[in-house]
Amino acid sequence: MLRVGLTGGIGSGKSTVAQRFSELGAVVIDADRLAREVVAAGSPGLEAVVARFGEGVLDDAGALNRAALGAVVFADEQARRDLEGITHPLIARRTAELVAAAPDDAIVVHDVPLLVEKDYGPGYHLVLVVGADEQTRTKRLTRTRGMTESDARSRIAAQATDPQRRTAADVWLQNDGAKDDLLAAVDDLWHARLVPFEDNVRRGIRAPRAEELVLVPHDPTWSAQANRLLARLRLAFGDALVTADHVGSTAVPGLLAKDVIDLQVGVRSLADADDPGLVERLTRAGFPRPGGQWADNGKDGTAWPKRFHGTADPGRPANLHVREVASPGWRWALMFRDWLRAEPGASEEYAGLKGRLAATGLTSSEYADAKEPWFDGIHDSAEDWALRTGWEPSGG
């Protein structure tokens, strides 16, 4: 099963995307619909609302008068929290029931207007945001919902900003053009990424890796992408996680790199990383463990043991290295990253090596092996820098 969080500002076209996913075969769960369902006439939710706010929030037919309730809660922060305390657990319970009832091979699309505001992103395999500029959204709201321009802009301003949504988005669908263009983008996302992603998660396998070596300029969004993945890993690891960091070349601003994000999780013991329950949680979260024994080439001539997980997502290559906190491999990953960040000369030398190796036509696997002599050669320089600056590992 694949869980996709879908969100977007008012007037962005999120409902159109949700409808298309439903047509493609997704199980779509509409948070707004559930919010109405849990306080429907005769429901325990409505009884609890009336008990807290009084019968003045009911209409003549005994149903919830949303305008009357809104007038109470939006002017009183405590009242709003009390309402959320009643409805949110009911919505969460109903959502869990619908997810549990979905087929094992389902792609569950959870349509959540406040996904960004409530920081729900880590609970999904992917977060999809539908975006449109303010002018486009304002025109849609005045045309389709009868709002005044002032009301429309006020509603837009009350929600998360586009920069906040972009930080949360694994996928951004810009929707300022024709509806057919939006639907085509949804179809492409479904077939090229979501369907194979779900299949990989269900089967517990990594997404296929390209052996063709391609180096690209630094992408300033790599850091935000890594942070989203780390948030999901923190949720999956739970108390077993001690540190979680973005490491490797994509963590060094300005450095040429493969478009593969390397992540390091520090654990107290590799025995914790081998717990079957944890391995299963990571697999379900989209980070399966490939077979085989994994270790780093230690700079002291020994193998530095670790555990390794790859991503099941065909659209976002990523590697997860699990190492014991304070172990040589854990320390080296952090020191090497910080040394490259602090020493432009070292970063430039490394970039030059990368470019020369890539020009020889190596595969990705051959490229990784070909860099090892350089790593051995700069080990002392990195250690000297750490000693000179007083560097200490500070895993996040």
What residue ranges do the domains of the chain occupy? Answer: 2-203, 222-389
So what's the pLDDT on residue 151?
A: 85
Whole-number Å distance between alpha carbons of 145 and 165: 23
Tens of pLDDT, residues 128-177: 999 999 889 898 898 888 888 888 888 888 888 999 999 999 999 999 99
So what's the pLDDT on residue 72?
A: 85
Tens of pLDDT, residues 211-220: 889 999 999 9
Q: Token match 């707004």: residue?
A: 32
- Could you tell me if 52 and 82 are in contact, meaning their C-beta atoms sit under 8 angstroms apart? yes
Q: Token match 């409902």: residue?
A: 15
Is 15 annotated in a binding site? The answer is yes
Q: Which CATH architecture has domain 2-203?
A: 3-Layer(aba) Sandwich (3.40)
Which tokens belong to 5? 């969080």
Is 394 annotated in a binding site? The answer is no
So what's the pLDDT on residue 161?
A: 92
Asked if residue 75 has pLDDT above 80, the reply is no
Q: Which residues fall within 8 angstroms of residue 321, CB to CB, at 6 or more apart?
A: 247, 262, 263, 264, 265, 306, 307, 308, 329, 333
- Could you tell me if 141 and 98 are in contact, meaning their C-beta atoms sit under 8 angstroms apart? no
The CA-atom distances, in angstroms, between 36 and each of 21, 31, 32, 39, 187 are: 22, 9, 7, 6, 29
Tens of pLDDT, residues 315-358: 999 999 999 999 999 999 999 999 999 999 999 999 999 999 99
- Single out the residue of 29, 84, 24, 28 nearest to residue 53, CA to CA: 84
Name the DSSP letter for residue 55.
Answer: G
Establish how many alpha carbons lie within 13 A of residue 60's alpha carbon, considering only the half-sphere containing its beta carbon. Answer: 0
So what's the pLDDT on residue 108?
A: 98
Which tokens belong to 283? 């697999």
Beta bridge partners of 308: 321
Q: Catalogue the long-range contacts made by 112-115 (C-beta closer than 8 Å, 24 or more residues apart).
A: 112/5, 112/6, 112/7, 112/31, 113/7, 113/10, 113/14, 113/31, 113/32, 113/159, 114/7, 114/31, 115/5, 115/6, 115/7, 115/168
The reply to whether 222-389 shares the fold of 2-203 is: no
Whole-number Å distance between alpha carbons of 3 and 18: 14
Which tokens belong to 187? 């179809």
Label the pairing between strands 261-267 and 241-247: antiparallel
- Could you tell me if 333 and 264 are in contact, meaning their C-beta atoms sit under 8 angstroms apart? yes
| Segment of 40-44, 62-66, 194-198, 291-295 carrying the highest mean pLDDT | 194-198
Average pLDDT, the chain: 94
So what's the pLDDT on residue 320?
A: 98
Local structure of 298: helix, strand or coil: coil
Is 327 annotated in a binding site? The answer is no
**What is the distance in angstroms between the CA of the first residue and the CA of the last residue of the chain?**
30
So what's the pLDDT on residue 393?
A: 93
Q: Token match 């709003």: residue?
A: 80
Tens of pLDDT, residues 231-283: 999 999 999 999 999 999 999 999 999 999 999 999 999 999 999 999 999 99
Whole-number Å distance between alpha carbons of 44 and 62: 13
Tens of pLDDT, residues 174-230: 999 999 999 999 999 999 999 999 999 999 999 998 888 999 999 999 999 999 999
Q: Which residue has the higher pLDDT, 62 or 249?
A: 249
Is 142 annotated in a binding site? The answer is no
Q: Which residues fall within 8 angstroms of residue 322, CB to CB, at 6 or more apart?
A: 264, 265, 266, 267, 270, 273, 306, 307, 308, 309
> Of all helices (H) and strands (E), which one includes residue 21?
helix 14-24
So what's the pLDDT on residue 293?
A: 87
Tens of pLDDT, residues 93-123: 999 999 999 999 999 999 999 999 999 999 9
CATH topology assigned to domain 222-389: Beta Polymerase; domain 2 (3.30.460)
**pTM attached to this predicted model:** 0.91
So what's the pLDDT on residue 74?
A: 77
Q: Is 126 exposed, middle or buried (0-12, 13-18, 19+ CB in 10 A)?
A: buried
